[in-house]
Structure 1
């Protein structure tokens, strides 16, 4: 082609966008960021407290309000010493650097270490009711590929978009593991 001939090539105005999107919450959205839960005492205590707060009515019914601190200790213990896969699918939402939300996804064939470190402190009757409460909350069809086990947002952070970013992260993580939706 000569220099004077017209070219049929369209010039590139901008670079094409990458097909890999950043996980929701990896950059702040209205001050909300999402990170993986850490195997630390601070994260474990936060997760235990927030789980009890989110399902307080069920726990009070089963073990009484007076025994909630024991349940929090036990749930905190369940968030320590797990396989790395547990931490890869459990997320903490932070609002301006403060943990305020929790999300846990489960995938088919996931394994967790169930710990009953403090259940005996509840007494026999309440320990039995506590275990029934936990088991009833995690009973899922074994053919399910993935599901949202629980999501909770601290009362002080509700209405600030934390739950929305957590749900966006749920969808992102499910798609990245070939689940078309989190209930699949």
Structure 2
């Protein structure tokens, strides 16, 4: 017995086979996502039951049926402001670069990152840059601070401390050399 569904986007009524129950499909008319419900219970043997008439839009092809979400139509997409990839128009987070657009969700992610200490510890490479290339370490620390990464402040302070250490060594060497 075919399942009758209505597209939530264009309100077109469609019919599909029982085997499509519980799946998602694209509407052949507008491309909207349709959730196909479970098949209704079969009616008792009713000699007066009418056969559904054939409609060319009635069934979904195998390509239209999927177990996962269907891709939205091109008109339902916009470029991500951060990376430029095409994303769903009402997306709250870019699936490509991870940029969050919803201010409430953005604050929640920042709090979670701070609570777990994610990004607070400097890697070995960060330490090497901060000590051996302290000028670059200062720049990286400032950039990370602007981005809101907790390790930015630590990187800046370590790099400045190394700069200060080498300045003291240079001053002591200049004083020692002038005394001779």
Q: TM-score, normalised by structure 1?
A: 0.22
Q: Greater CA radius of gyration, 1 or 2? A: 2
Q: TM-score, normalised by structure 2?
A: 0.23
Higher RCO structure (Cα 8 Å, ≥6 apart): 1
